Amino acid sequence: MLAIAGFYIVANIAIGNARDGLRVIGHDAGPQVLATGDLYFALSDMDSQVANVLLTGREHDLGTRQQALNSYNQDRVKADRAAMQAAELSASNPIDQATVRSVLDGLGRYEQLASRAMVLNEQANHPAGPPPGNVIAVYRQATDLMKLELLPQAYNLTLEGGATVREVYAAKRAAVLSSRLWVALTGLAAIAALAGLQFFVALRFRRLVNPALAFATLGLIVVSLGAVRLLSGEAEQLQAAKTGGFDSILTMSRAQAISNSLHADESRFLLDPGRADTYSLAYLDKSQTVLYVPSGNLGEYDTGLNAAMKAYHANPRTVSFLGFYGDEARAHPGPAVTAVLSRFQQFQADDQRIRRLAKSGDTRQATTLLTGRTAGSSSYDFNQYNKAVVALIGLHRGTFDQAIRTGDRELGRSILGNWAALLPLATLGAVILVLVGVRARLKEYR
């Protein structure tokens, strides 16, 4: 009896570990990373689009100001939706929920400042290029609010989700694996105890087989084997979801966030000459975070990037660069990451041209190149680059979802349906059978 109870307790804890792991990684912190990543992207892109609108000034046809406005409005809707989703997912975490609320409050203030900057910009009626000082002053308030309050909160939520997944994965996978051994041992002990009882009854009462006891033993063998198999499968799915999907989703979400913020720095560099140095240096730092090649300034970065890409395209195994894309290209080589790298290189080449034009004093041409929506202009090429990143995230998302689905399905599938229901039923059945078997013999003895 005790042996059967022991098996039941151990198997229950083990399956609980697997279920908790899948829940947090697959349905809680994992999706939270995606939702807050979307939130960051929408917020950061709003600020880029406002900068683009301000830069085009009265030349409405130049670089299609209307398209920037449309993107801004779409981003607002996306930000709201992502924030709602993040709030839902963090229902169990009051601190995270407060953070999401604080982002939404800040977003309201941001929209007010951005509208004011755009109205003042209309009134200023300036040619393409940096707007007058009063517009820049209001835009600075807006962009500082975005950079110092809203974006850090969104990004830190993404990171916190990533940290939770890492911790839960390490703990739960280890627990599932160690408890698998215990399930096997207690299962064996229970089976041995039943076999011993069978032997004892046979010897004592001179019956070859006690049918009830035999059924109980057989049932326990099947359930133990099933439980061990299940736990092995769950550990595998946890690993597939984490290292095959989630790690790259997190890396690429961060790369996407930082890329979008460096794209915004490019616009701000043209828009606000008083802070041009700050924005250039931030652009360099962020470029190196995304894809690191040793370089002291943007010119050297460009040279280093082109050399690294040349080597990579000649042989995709030569990953001579570090940063997010270095990790990704080493972990998951393939056409999807190559597409991202090529688009990134194109975007950086556009940036070099914009900076050369700006340096030569041709801010009008630089603005056209920055805000244009045709191939060869920065906004267009950035969109292409971002699409490649989204495609790569989608690829990893597929692996992740598949692993979580398989893990969930296995937990819900056994001969009798859900494991949570099967386990107590099977244990109870075995206990009853043992009682029945022993009682029949005891009666005879009396």
Partner 1 sequence: MNRVRATACSRAMAAALLALAISLSACSAAGPPSIVGEQSLRIGVKADQPGLGLRLPDGRFAGFDVDVARYVAAKLGVRPDHITFVPVTSATRETALENGSVDMVFATYSITPERETKVTFGGPYYVAHQDTMVRRDETAIRNVHDLKGKRLCAVAGSNSWKRVTQELNIAATLVPATSYSECVAMLLDRRVDAVSTDDLILAGFAAHEGSAVRIVNAPFSDERYGIGIKQGDLAACEAVNRAVSAMYLDGTAAALLHKWFGQTGLQLDTHVPQFEGCG
Q: Judged by CB under 8 A, does residue 304 bind partner 1?
A: no
In whole angstroms, give the CA distance from residue 102 to residue 289.
28
Q: Judged by CB under 8 A, does residue 85 bind partner 1?
A: no
- Determine if residue 21 is left, alpha or beta; phi over 0 gives left, psi from -120 to 50 gives alpha, anything else beta: alpha
- Residue 99 C-beta: closest distance to partner 1, Å: 9
Classify residue 281 by burial, with Cβ atoms within 10 Å: 0-12, 13-18, 19+. middle
Q: Judged by CB under 8 A, does residue 192 bind partner 1?
A: no
In whole angstroms, give the CA distance from residue 290 to residue 56.
29
In whole angstroms, give the CA distance from residue 429 to residue 423.
10
When the beta carbons of 53 and 191 are compared against partner 1, the nearer one is 191
CA–CA–CA angle 233, 235, 240 (5° rounding): 90
State in Å, rounded, how far the first CA of the chain is from the last one.
22
Exactly one of 104, 184, 322, 390 binds partner 1 (CB under 8 A); that residue is: 322
In whole angstroms, give the CA distance from residue 198 to residue 214.
8
Exactly one of 284, 340, 389, 422 binds partner 1 (CB under 8 A); that residue is: 284
- Residue 176 C-beta: closest distance to partner 1, Å: 10
- Residue 286 C-beta: closest distance to partner 1, Å: 9
Q: Judged by CB under 8 A, does residue 245 bind partner 1?
A: no
Q: Judged by CB under 8 A, does residue 323 bind partner 1?
A: yes
Q: Judged by CB under 8 A, does residue 178 bind partner 1?
A: yes
- Residue 13 C-beta: closest distance to partner 1, Å: 5
**How does 78-106 read in b/e, with b if 16+ C-beta sit within 10 Å?**
bbeebbebbbebbeebeebbebbeebbeb
Q: Judged by CB under 8 A, does residue 167 bind partner 1?
A: yes
Q: Which is nearest to 211 in space by CA: 221, 219, 423?
A: 219
- Residue 179 C-beta: closest distance to partner 1, Å: 5
In whole angstroms, give the CA distance from residue 366 to residue 351.
10
Per CB under 8 A, contacts with partner 1 among 327-366 are: none
Exactly one of 93, 156, 338, 352 binds partner 1 (CB under 8 A); that residue is: 156
Q: Judged by CB under 8 A, does residue 137 bind partner 1?
A: no
**How does 365-395 read in b/e, with b if 16+ C-beta sit within 10 Å?**
bbbbbbbbeeeebbbbbbbebbebbeebbeb
When the beta carbons of 53 and 79 are compared against partner 1, the nearer one is 79
Piece in contact with partner 1 (CB under 8 A), picked from 107-115, 293-301, 340-348, 412-420: 293-301
When the beta carbons of 260 and 368 are compared against partner 1, the nearer one is 260
In whole angstroms, give the CA distance from residue 280 to residue 274.
12
Binding site for partner 1 (CB under 8 A): 2-3, 6, 9-10, 13-14, 17, 95, 148-149, 151-153, 155-156, 159-160, 162-163, 166-167, 170-172, 174-175, 178-179, 182, 186, 254, 275, 277-278, 280-282, 284-285, 288-289, 292, 294, 296-299, 322-323
